[in-house]
Amino acid sequence: MKKILIPLSLLVLLGLLAYYSLYTVDEREWVIITQFGEPVRTVTDAGLYVKRPAFWQKVNRFDKRMQVYETEAIQLLLGDKNPLIIGCYAAWKIIDPLIFFQTIGIDLDEGARKIGDILNSQLGGVISEYSIDNIINTEQDKVKLAQIELDIQQRVTANAEQKYGIKVEKVGISRLAYPAIVVSAVYDRMRSERNKEAEKIRAEGREVADKIRADAAKQAAEITAKAQKEALIIRGEGEKEAMRIYREAYGKDPEFFDFLNSIELYKKVLGNNTVLVLSTKSELFKYLDMGKEASKGSSKGSK
């Protein structure tokens, strides 16, 4: 019986020793081995490891994964003395577990609080370097929110890495608001900027319209001048042709054409109740006198 109990006891003892001496490291974590509270070894790779029994050495685990901390919204002053309510978040992770352990311990929540303290302390300094025009503006290139986030991240990371072994991967603005005292002023400024932009667009439109009208007037004048020129040429050619025909006709019977011209002249000159004083030697009187003589001849014939 004793021969059986001794090996069994040794087996149990070895099992307990192995249980308290063997440990595993996950890919998602760091491990620091402490001996009586003092760090003696840092394990960064996943696998199975051996340590001294639990009462001698202790396994302290730290999460490698990204953590997110969000601040409460606080009121700060911008560089132009306008108040701003702002809230931020920080995405962070442990990059040096030994420094983190020595300065903070093993509590991730305490690490998040340290990040929050640094974030709030740096936030005021960064915000004071910008004005309200850099926060809200109708001109996109004047809005500097991305630059503000980058400035905060750089300052927070510089402090967190040196003090706590923490790297801040991303800082973002999660909330922006204005106190009631400045909301009206902000809206008025935005309204003024939009009115200015609208007036600029209207002025450009008027300039384009004036140019179009000027071009149209120029083209119309050119077309009219061209048409008048062509009309004068056609009229001149027509009058030339008329003169040629007139000369030919006149050459055939000059006396008849003199008579026709005189008749046309009478139509223009003589009207109802018109008194015309002519010399008996006038060319106009010639045909009038002929008409009188013709009338007399007719009267004699009838007698």
| Per-residue pLDDT, 296 | 47
**Hey, what are 299's tokens?**
């009267």
The pLDDT mean for the chain works out to 80
pLDDT tens-digit profile of 163-201? Answer: 899 999 999 998 888 777 666 666 777 778 788 888 889
Contact in structure between 76 and 91 (CB atoms under 8 Å): no
Per DSSP bridges, beta strands 29-35 and 38-43 are antiparallel
Alpha carbon of residue 66 to chain centroid: 35
**Cβ-Cβ contacts under 8 Å for 143 (sequence gap 6 or more):** 134, 135, 136, 137
What residue ranges in the chain does DSSP mark as E strands?
22-25, 29-35, 38-43, 47-50, 57-63, 67-70, 74-77, 83-94, 166-177
Q: How confident is the model at residue 273 (pLDDT cuts 50, 70, 90)?
A: low
- Average pLDDT (281-303) is 52
Count Cβ neighbours within 10 Å for each residue of 193-206 and write b for 16 or more, e otherwise: eeeeeeeeeeeeee
Contact in structure between 176 and 72 (CB atoms under 8 Å): no
The mean-pLDDT minimum among 58-62, 129-133, 260-264 falls in 260-264
The mean-pLDDT minimum among 15-29, 42-56, 142-156 falls in 15-29
pTM comes to: 0.53
Residue ranges per domain, the chain? 2-63, 67-186
* Confidence check: pLDDT of 92 > 90: yes
Contact in structure between 84 and 178 (CB atoms under 8 Å): yes
Cα–Cα distance between 81 and 109 in angstroms, integer? 34
Higher per-residue pLDDT: 100 or 285: 100
Higher per-residue pLDDT: 197 or 255: 197
Which helix H or strand E contains 55, and what residues bound it? none
| Per-residue pLDDT, 147 | 92
Over its C-alpha atoms, the chain yields an Rg (Å, rounded) of 56
**CATH for the stretch 67-186:** 3.30.479.30
* Confidence check: pLDDT of 144 > 80: yes
Cα–Cα distance between 284 and 148 in angstroms, integer? 105
| Per-residue pLDDT, 12 | 59
* Confidence check: pLDDT of 67 > 70: yes
pLDDT tens-digit profile of 23-53? Answer: 888 889 989 989 888 888 888 888 888 887 7
Cα–Cα distance between 185 and 51 in angstroms, integer? 67
